[in-house]
Amino acid sequence: ATVWPKACCSAPHETVQDVTREGIETTGMDISERPGMDALSTYFDSFPTTATSKVGQVKVKVVFIRHGHACHNALDQQGSGWKLMNKLRQAAYPDAPLTNCGMRLSKANGIRLSKASPGAPDFVGTSGLLRAIETGLEMFPGANIHPLPFIAEDGSDACNTPSDNAAQQGRLNATHGPTDAKRVKWQYINAAPNPAEVGASDYTSFKKLLALKVLPQLVANHPDRELTLAIVSHSKFMRTAMKKSFGCEKKDAYFDNNAAKSASYNFSFNKKGGEIEAVSFGEVAKSCTSIDFSPQVWTQKDFCQADYDRCSIADPKSMGLSEKDALGHKQSPSISHPDPAKRPEYVCCKDWEIQELPGPPEVGPQGLNA
Give the sign of the dihedral formed by CA 153, CA 158, CA 161, CA 163. Answer: negative
**Spatial CA neighbour of 334 closest among 142, 133, 162, 93:** 93
Across the chain, which distance is largest between two alpha carbons, in Å? 72
pLDDT beyond 50 at 303: yes
**Are 31 and 204 a contacting pair, CB within 8 Å?**
yes
Range with lowest mean pLDDT among 17-31, 86-100, 328-342:
17-31
Q: Which residues is 19 bridged to in the sheet?
A: 281
Question: According to the model, what pLDDT value does residue 327 have?
Answer: 84
Q: What is the pTM of this model?
A: 0.82
- Residues 287-316: what's their mean pLDDT? 83
> Residue 341 — pLDDT band, cuts 50, 70, 90?
low
Domain regions of the chain by residue span? 15-290
Determine contact, residues 229/299, Cβ cutoff 8 Å. no
Class for domain 15-290, per CATH?
Answer: alpha beta
pLDDT at 61 over 90: yes
Rounded mean pLDDT, 147-175:
88
Q: Which of 30-39, 138-147, 298-307, 308-317 has the highest mean pLDDT?
A: 138-147
Kindly state the helix (H) or strand (E) to which residue 324 belongs, with its residue range.
helix 323-327
* pLDDT at 350 exceeding the cut of 70: no
